Amino acid sequence: MSTQNPRSQQAGQKPAQGTMRRQPAGKGSWQRGRWMMLLIAFVCAAPAIGAYIAYYVIKPTGGTTSYGKLVEPQRPIPESLVVTGEDGKPMKLASLRGHWLMVSVDSSACDTPCVTKLYFMRQVRATQGAERERIVNVFLRTDAGKVSDIVDSAYKDTEMLIADPKDVAAWLPVDDDGTRITDHIYMVDPNGNLMMRFPKDPDPSKIKGDVTKLLKYSGIG
């Protein structure tokens, strides 16, 4: 007769083949928590990813081109750039961050080329449909003269702001072939970075194409 303890026999037995082993307690919940953290991080990073695509998908390299010239490195709106609105109150231009800005610079007299730029900006914004609310058109006036009633009434959707021409010139670049600030339309992203300059005497349909891409691929503004 065997005197071996039955409990000893059970303790020495190996688990039957095919028996499922339990995962250590808490491992499954830890993995779920990790995936949740990764998902949250991706959602938070999505706007920045969209902005990156917006800048570089249309970059003029390879088979895809932009009509406007990308400004590299980007130039943030100077905190020192103070403008005056129609109400006569000063404010920082940087306070307009949060929207895409199409910017034109000219004298308050606004001759034919000036009006043409404002017209192109208005039409490009209007053709964006529901997305147009993401864009603010800005006319930076380099003097405190009066804007004509015709221009004022035709472009009610344009912010007409007086700015120091020296401050504006220090911020906005021109082409190497001798163009002036008043020759261009500029694009500023919702983070307040100047990121694109359109050529002199631009084709508005091509400006529209660039703006449409920027709004499509960017989740900001």
Classify residue 130 by its DSSP letter.
Answer: G
| pLDDT tens digit sequence for 30-65 | 666 667 776 675 655 555 555 555 555 544 444 458
Q: Which of 179, 145, 176 is nearest to 162 (CA)?
A: 145
Question: pLDDT digits over 184-203, tens only?
Answer: 999 999 999 999 999 999 99
Residue 82 binned pLDDT confidence (cut-offs 50, 70, 90): very high
62: Cα within 13 Å, side-chain hemisphere: 5
pLDDT band at 108 (very low <50, low <70, confident <90, very high): very high
pLDDT at 2: 47
Output the average pLDDT for the chain.
84
Which pLDDT score is estimated for 176?
81
In the prediction, which pLDDT does 114 show? 98
CB 83 within 8 A of CB 93: yes
Angle (deg, nearest 10), helices 27-57 and 204-217: 170
Question: What letters, b where the CB count within 10 A reaches 16 and e where it falls short, cover 24-50?
Answer: eeeeeeeeeeeeeeeeeeeeeeeeeeb
Helix (H) or strand (E) holding 5: none
Phi/psi at 149 (5° precision): -60, -35
pLDDT number for residue 11: 46
What are the pLDDT digits (tens) for 159-175? Answer: 999 999 999 999 999 98
pLDDT-derived band at 86 (thresholds 50, 70, 90) equals confident
Structure tokens at 198: 């359109």
Q: What is the CATH superfamily name and number for domain 68-202?
A: Glutaredoxin (3.40.30.10)
